[in-house]
Amino acid sequence: MNYLLDTDVLSAAAPTKAQPRRDWTDWQIRAGRRLCLSAVTIAEIERGICACRRQGATTKAARLRQWLDATQHLYADRILSFDTKVARFAGEMLDTARGHGAGFADIAIAATAMAHGLTVLTANERHFRHLGVAWLNPFETLPET
């Protein structure tokens, strides 16, 4: 099975986390090329870096920038775009997700997974539960590798 990492589970391995989850980072290494990212995740992390910089947390911003650059390099050919195919899935999800709290970024990530036949790995269960996409919470149970 191949997976699309939601921003929250990718960020669990960020250098700014006080205690990275070793089981999770080890699993990511074993899963290797079966993992993909959405371009939307890159945007969400970039937004966080910009917020750090704006708030004067320049050291944190620099560490996150370095991590994002390395992540982008590592996943280079596995960063999936928000294209018209994904947009069609997103439009349907926007309609069905009304009232369930999922924002556009979550819907775009779910639509990317759906368009590419991937399972979303997320700890944000309440936003993905109603979107009709396959998802797992790797912090509850790690998928088999």
Q: In the numeric block, which tokens belong to residue 53?
A: 């910089």
Burial profile 16-34: b = 16 or more Cβ within 10 angstroms, e = fewer: eeeeebeeeeebbeebeee
| CA–CA distance, 7 with 47 (Å, rounded to integer) | 12
Q: SS in 3 state form for 70-98?
A: HHHHHCHHHEECCCHHHHHHHHHHHHHCC
Tell whether pTM > 0.85.
Answer: yes
| CA–CA distance, 128 with 108 (Å, rounded to integer) | 11
Q: What are the E-state strand segments in 9-142?
A: 35-38, 79-80, 119-121, 135-136
pLDDT at 24: 86
Residue 8 confidence class, pLDDT cut points 50, 70, 90: very high
Q: In the numeric block, which tokens belong to residue 89?
A: 């899935």
Query: Across residues 125-130, what is the average pLDDT?
Result: 89
How do residues 67-118 score in pLDDT, each as one tens digit? 999 999 999 999 999 999 999 999 999 988 776 678 899 999 999 999 999 9
Query: Among residues 5, 2, 1, which one has the least CA distance to residue 138?
Result: 5
Across the strands, what pairs with 37?
Answer: 79
pLDDT at 99: 65
| Domains identified in the chain and CATH numbers | 3-136 (3.40.50.1010)
